[in-house]
Structure 1
Amino acid sequence: MASACAQSVFGFGADLDRRPTIFVPALPSESSCSLCGLLSAASFMLPCWHLLCGSCFYQCRQISDRCPLDKRVFRQEEVAPALIKKEAILGFRIRCWNSGNGCDAVDAVSVMLDHFANACMFHTMNCQKCGEKMLHRELPGHVMSGCAATWSPGMYDKGTLASSFLNVKETLQKTSRESASLQMVLALFELRMYEMKEMIDHLSATALLFLLRRHEAFSDAIVWAALKPYACLNACPG
């Protein structure tokens, strides 16, 4: 059974470099950098038989002429270059990069590059309304059949709800300083705010939106009840 462990290559082009890939069968560990694990187009074999990719080799040389793994000293003439042509990599068999999403395609790298870009049906996207991750081809049906959310991500988050509570509380506090009769209204709101705060951290996105709407209606009613006497006084002729 092929290993499901992804391996990365470097020096073979932007389509492949540093892109976790599942090779079938897995590439032998001896062909990858002993330090970083990359299979590099240009590597260097040290006399101690440790293999370093070009990047690790040159970084180590700036520090000392010792193998970073076993600390053995080496001379430049003892180092053997190890080159791998891109054509060789393109012939290796790999799993589709969407294998984790359900695609079971396996073929040569050269074939899979085209498959992934033009034919694979297992690309995923996040719903722009609820944030749920799903196959791209399933997204239209998800939204049309009734997405659980009706707002854009980030429009109503927990920080927004907490900020809304504080704004209403500050309004009531300012008003209550002018009238002791509003102290009871403020106390009622603070009690409700404490109860709602306890629930926030355990809410799903849909429940959070529902709670926010209920809170907005409650807050408006409380503020209106608090300010109504002043509105009447201002509206009524003296």
Structure 2
Amino acid sequence: MVPANQQYTLVGFTEDLDWNPLQFVNALPKNRLCSLCGLVRKTTALLPCGHVACSSCYEQCKVADGHVCPIDGQNCLEEDVEWRDFPAENLLNREVKCWNQQHGCTLVMAASEVHKHFHRECEYHITICPRCSATVLCRDMGEHARASCNGHAAPQEMECEEKLGHAAVAEIIEGVRKAVQEQAHEIKEHLERACGENGTLISRLSEVSQSVDSLMEPATRKVKLLQKCVGMSSSIEENHAPMNRLQTLRLFILYVIHLSGHRNNSRQARQEIHQENCQEHTRETTLEKYLQVTQPTRQSC
């Protein structure tokens, strides 16, 4: 298939022309153009099916028992393939158009001359105006700047675009800032709530510790007193032991009621326990006096 407008890409002829598309005045023979990649190489293979493969594409057609045309899938034996060389002189003498044809150059020359013309002689090279971004011929840039360049409006447009860009960035930054502040506020509330709960727990544990200390002191006194009462009659011991158990149970119940009721005034609760301890101490003192009075009688017995 011949490319539109007779434009072809040469490979393997000269470094000046290779891989640079050329606009030929006349179309090249179809058997010089690879049916697969569309490139024009110095050597091509004419397959039995009629398709043409360049040397590179032909190597990619290999299979276990030969070659297969990738276009129609037909097998082809090596002896059925016709190799053809494209003489460089034949190709380089063909007429081509200047690479600047689309910019106004109308010269036609041999393919071997287009490189020199383009780099040394052609006056239709273009550039981009840095003020208005228009495509201008290099030879006309002075006239363009004096007469037709509208670059004076570009700074204003750029300034407007820059302001719009800054506004958009500022809006994004403000949105991110607000989101971060909201997250920080929520985290702060969670931390304050957790600290408050931990503080309450620590306070209650401290109260429990103080209450246990308050209960341990009379209990110790009771143990010492009971040790002194080892010589008492069994009736006294039987009557006094239940009393101690009931008194201990009463103190425990008062303390449980204090915890379950969630009293805010812990000082009042400690006062109640203190009063109860004082009463218990009075009873213990009375018992000690009783023991002292009855000691001679017990010794005589």
TM-score (normalizing by structure 1)? 0.61
Compute the RMSD of aligned alpha carbons. Answer: 3.4
Aligned-pair CA distance for 1:93: 0.7
Mapped partners of 1:40, 1:114: distance in 2:
22
Mapped partners of 1:157, 1:14: distance in 2:
46
More helix by share: 2
Q: Percent identity?
A: 30
User: What residue in structure 1 maps to residue 124 of structure 2?
Assistant: 122
AA aligned opposite 1:90:
L
Structure 1: tracts of 5 or more residues without a match:
175-238
| 1:52-77 superposed Cα distances (whole Å, 9 cap, x missing partner) | 11221122226972111121101223
Mapped partners of 1:143, 1:136: distance in 2:
11
User: What residue in structure 1 maps to residue 250 of structure 2?
Assistant: none
Which residue of the other structure, out of 75, 78, 82, is the alignment partner of 2:77?
A: 75
Mapped partners of 1:151, 1:77: distance in 2:
70
- The within-5 A match list for 1:177-216 is none
- Alpha-carbon contact 2:31-2:46 (below 8 Å) kept: no
Matched, 1:57 2:62: no
Which residue of the other structure, out of 139, 142, 148, is the alignment partner of 1:140?
A: 142
- Alpha-carbon contact 2:32-2:86 (below 8 Å) kept: no
- Alpha-carbon contact 2:49-2:74 (below 8 Å) kept: yes
Aligned-pair CA distance for 1:120: 0.9
Check 1:152–1:13 CA distance in 2 against 1; reply closer, same or farther (3 A cut).
farther
Aligned-pair CA distance for 1:144: 4.1
- Alpha-carbon contact 2:43-2:55 (below 8 Å) kept: yes
- The within-5 A match list for 1:83-102 is 83-102=85-104
Aligned-pair CA distance for 1:23: 1.0
Aligned-pair CA distance for 1:141: 2.6
* Secondary structure at 1:4 match in 2: helix
Count of matched residue pairs:
173
- Alpha-carbon contact 1:128-1:152 (below 8 Å) kept: no
Moved over 6 A (4+): 170-174
Higher relative contact order (CA 8 A, sep 6+): 1
